Amino acid sequence: MILKKKITENQFSIILLLSFYCLLLLGFIFDENSTGGAYPDYVNQKEISIFFANDFFNSLFNYDKFSHRHSPVIPAFFSLLEKINLNDSYIRLISLHLGLLLPIFFFKSLKIKFKKINKLYLILLTGLIFLSPIFRSLLIWPDSRIFGLAIFSISIYYYCKFQTNKKFIYAIYCTFFYAFASYISLNFALFAIFFFIKFFQKYKFDYNKIAKLFFLNLILSIPFFLYLFSLDNIFFLKTAVPGDLYQKSEILNFSNKILIISSIIFFYAIPFLITGVYKIEWHNKLNIALALILLLFLQFGFSYTYEWMGGGIFFKTSKLLFENNYLFYFICFFSLFFLIEICKNNLNSIMIIFCLLLSNPQITIYHKYYDPLILIIFLLLLNFKTDSKKLFKLKNLIIFYIYFASFLVINILKTQIL
C-alpha cells in the first residue's frame, strides 16, 4: 500500500511538471508576448547579435553605440548561433530550455529550505514561476534578464546548501554564479554585498577564508570594470525615455525608485498577507507614523511620468483609471509600512531591500526587473516571520495560483487591447 502511494505521488508529480512545461510550449507556439515589450526587445537584441556575428570584436568594443542597456553577453552568445545560420525558431527553442534552469534550481532550493514538506507541495509552489508573464515572455522571446535570473537561482541554491551545512565550497560556488549572473544582467551585481556579508558573518574569525572570498570577488569583477571604464563603454545607463523627456538628473531620483519598487514588492506580498503566511502588525502606531512621514517626504520628490513607460502595476493602474497618482500613493503607504515591518531589527531583510532598491540604475523602472525575482526572494532569502504550515496549505496554494494566474491573464489581455 505504501509503495502504491509513492508511485501515485511520483506519477502525479510527473503530470504536474509536464503540465507546466506544456503550458510554456503552448505560449511558444502562439508567440505569446504577455509583457508587450518582449517581442520588440528581442528583435532589437537579434539585430545586435547579427552585428556580433559579422564583426565580433568591433561590436564588443563599441557596444555602447547600440543604445542597448543590456549586457553584451547574451547577444554575443546568440551570435554564435547566428553565425551558423540557425533558424530563429530553433534559437528561441534552445533559449527556452536553457531558461528552465530557473524553475529547476528554484525547486531544488525549496527542497533544501523546506526539507520536511511533501515534494508535491514544493512542485506546486515552483509552478507559480510558470504563471509569471515575465518568465514566459522572456523565454519565448529571449532576453538577458531571464538568463541572468536563471544563473542567479543557481547561486541561491548554493547559498541554501551553505546555510544547511556551512561548507566553504558552497560559498565559492555561490560567489561564482552570482558573478556570472551579474555579467549576464548587471542588476544582480549588488547582491554581492548581501552574500559577502552573510559569508563574513560565518567566517569573521577565519581570515583565510574571508580573504579568499574577497579576492575571488575582486578577480571576477576585474574584467567587468576593465570593459566598462577602460573602453568608456557605460552601456547600462542607456535609457528608454524619449529624448525630449530625458533628464539625466532623474537617475538619482530616489523618490521614484523607492516608491515604485516598494509598490512592486508589495504586489508580491499581497497573497502572502491575505493568507496569513506573513504576519504584519498593522496596528503598530510607530510604523504607521514612519510610513506616513516617509510617504509625504518621498511624494514631493516623485516625478515619474506615464510617458516614460514602466512604473509597475499600481502606478499604471492609478494613471489609467484616475489620471493621477492618488491611488498609487495610497498603495505606497501600505508598501512602505510593509518594508518597515520586514526590516525592523532584521539586517538580512534590510540588505535585501537595499539591493532591490538600488539594483536599477536607469531612469525607467520596469515590473519585469522584479518578476519572478521577488517571489523567489520571499521564499528563499527573506528572513521574516513565515508560517510554513499556511504556506503549504492547499487552500492557500490555490489562492496563490488564482492571484498570479489573474496577473498573467491581465497582461495577456492588455497586450491584445493596447
pLDDT confidence band for 248 (50 / 70 / 90)? low
pLDDT at 1: 40
Whether pLDDT at 86 is above 70: yes
Give which of 305, 277, 320 is closest to 410, Cα–Cα.
Answer: 320
Q: Average the pLDDT over each of 149-158, 222-231, 315-324, 331-340 and give the range with the smallest value.
A: 222-231
pLDDT confidence band for 246 (50 / 70 / 90)? very low
Mean pLDDT of the chain: 86
Whether pLDDT at 152 is above 60: yes
Q: Average the pLDDT over each of 25-39, 141-155, 214-228, 232-246 and give the range with the smallest value.
A: 232-246
Q: pLDDT digit string (tens) for 285-296?
A: 999 999 999 999
Give yes or no: residues 12 and 158 share one domain.
Answer: yes
Give yes or no: residues 90 and 179 share one domain.
Answer: yes
The tally of domains found in the chain comes to 2
Rounded-to-10 torsion of CA 306, 131, 381, 270: 60
DSSP, res 362: S
Whether pLDDT at 243 is above 60: no
What nine digits make up the cell of 98? Answer: 536553457
- Is the pLDDT higher at 305 or at 250? 305
Give yes or no: residues 139 and 154 share one domain.
Answer: yes
List C-alpha distances in Å: 359 to 56, 116, 354, 366, 392: 29, 34, 8, 12, 31
Say how far apart CA 356 and CA 404 lie, in whole Å.
Answer: 21
Whether pLDDT at 3 is above 60: no
Whether pLDDT at 153 is above 70: yes
Rounded-to-10 torsion of CA 371, 376, 381, 387: 120
Helical spans, DSSP H, in 166-306: 168-184, 191-203, 207-225, 254-274, 285-301
pLDDT at 179: 93
DSSP, res 324: S
Whether pLDDT at 269 is above 90: yes
Give yes or no: residues 81 and 100 share one domain.
Answer: yes
Only one residue has cell 540588505, namely 351
Only one residue has cell 512621514, namely 293
- Taking the chain, what is the end-to-end CA distance rounded to the nearest angstrom? 55
Give yes or no: residues 258 and 233 share one domain.
Answer: no
Q: pLDDT digit string (tens) for 184-203?
A: 988 888 899 999 999 998 88
Cβ atoms of 303 and 253 within 8 Å: the answer is yes
Q: What is the mean pLDDT of residues 41-55?
A: 89
Give yes or no: residues 166 and 22 share one domain.
Answer: yes
Say how far apart CA 108 and CA 335 lie, in whole Å.
Answer: 30
Q: pLDDT digit string (tens) for 161-185?
A: 999 988 999 999 999 999 999 889 8
Give which of 115, 350, 165, 357 is closest to 259, Cα–Cα.
Answer: 357
Question: Which bin fits 310, alpha (ψ -120 to 50), beta or left (φ > 0)?
Answer: left
Say how far apart CA 345 and CA 376 lie, in whole Å.
Answer: 22
What does residue 93 show for φ and ψ, rounded to 5 degrees?
-70, -40
Classified as helix, coil or strand, 143 is coil
Say how far apart CA 401 and CA 397 lie, in whole Å.
Answer: 6
Give yes or no: residues 144 and 229 share one domain.
Answer: yes
Whether pLDDT at 2 is above 60: no
Give yes or no: residues 231 and 250 share one domain.
Answer: no
The share of the chain scoring above pLDDT 90, in percent, equals 50
pLDDT at 245: 47
- Is the pLDDT higher at 249 or at 408? 408
Give yes or no: residues 170 and 306 share one domain.
Answer: no
pLDDT at 252: 60
Give yes or no: residues 118 and 188 share one domain.
Answer: yes
Classified as helix, coil or strand, 386 is strand
Q: Average the pLDDT over each of 54-58, 265-269, 402-406 and give the range with the smallest value.
A: 54-58
pLDDT at 310: 81
pLDDT at 241: 52
Whether pLDDT at 333 is above 60: yes
Give yes or no: residues 266 and 367 share one domain.
Answer: yes
Q: pLDDT digit string (tens) for 4-20?
A: 445 566 777 788 889 99
The total number of residues shown for the chain amounts to 418
Measured at the CA of 274, the angle between CA 270 and CA 276, to 5 degrees, comes to: 115
Only one residue has cell 541572468, namely 148
pTM, two decimals, is 0.90
Tell me the residue range of the domain where 17 lies. Answer: 2-238+388-417
The share of the chain scoring above pLDDT 70, in percent, equals 90
For the chain, helix, strand, coil in percent to 5 are: 75, 0, 20
Q: pLDDT digit string (tens) for 107-137?
A: 999 999 998 898 889 999 999 999 999 999 9
Rounded-to-10 torsion of CA 183, 186, 191, 195: 10
What nine digits make up the cell of 401? Answer: 495560483
Give yes or no: residues 149 and 61 share one domain.
Answer: yes
